[in-house]
Amino acid sequence: MPPETVPASPRRARRVALLLLGASLVLAAGGALWFLQFASQVRRDPAFIYREPATLEKLLKRANDAEHAGDRATAITTYRFVMAVGQGAGADLAPYVAAARAGLSRLGAVDTLSGPPR
């Protein structure tokens, strides 16, 4: 025989529901604030999301593959992108900028970006 279960009181159920509702609202508000902060940071610095070693490594591999495949335009564009993202970012991204600069010199391309000065 199953043991007798005591039904929960409506008052306790309401308290638990309000507690869960409050926790949900706090989490939603925190998430919204975090998202707004991240969005404003990306708006100020569009290259922010690319300024990660793993991303720059993938881009350098893509540029190197394009260079070996004979796709000079893609290689130059990707190397220039890596340089633009990595310039002035710090010592941790300096090897990626140096590798992009070396790739551009191998291709005989100018290592400065075209367009207005920044």
Average pLDDT over residues 30-56: 84
Nearest alpha-carbon partner for 79 in 108, 42, 117, 52: 108
Specify the DSSP class assigned to residue 108.
Answer: T
What is residue 67's predicted lDDT score, i.e. its pLDDT?
92
User: How confident is the prediction for the chain on average, in pLDDT?
Assistant: 85
Report the alpha-carbon distance of residue 87 to residue 91 in Å, rounded.
10
What is residue 6's predicted lDDT score, i.e. its pLDDT?
63
Give the count of alpha carbons within 13 A of 102, CB side only.
8
Band (117; pLDDT cuts 50, 70, 90): very low
* pTM passes above 0.85: no
What is residue 112's predicted lDDT score, i.e. its pLDDT?
64
Angle between the N-to-C axes of helices 53-69 and 94-107, in degrees from 0 to 180, rounded to the nearest 10? 10
Average pLDDT over residues 9-28: 93
Task: Identify the H or E element spanning 115.
Answer: none
Task: Report the percent of the chain where pLDDT is more than 70.
Answer: 88
Burial classification of residue 80, based on how many CB atoms lie within 10 Å of its CB (0-12 exposed, 13-18 middle, 19 or more buried): buried
Task: Report the percent of the chain where pLDDT is more than 90.
Answer: 46
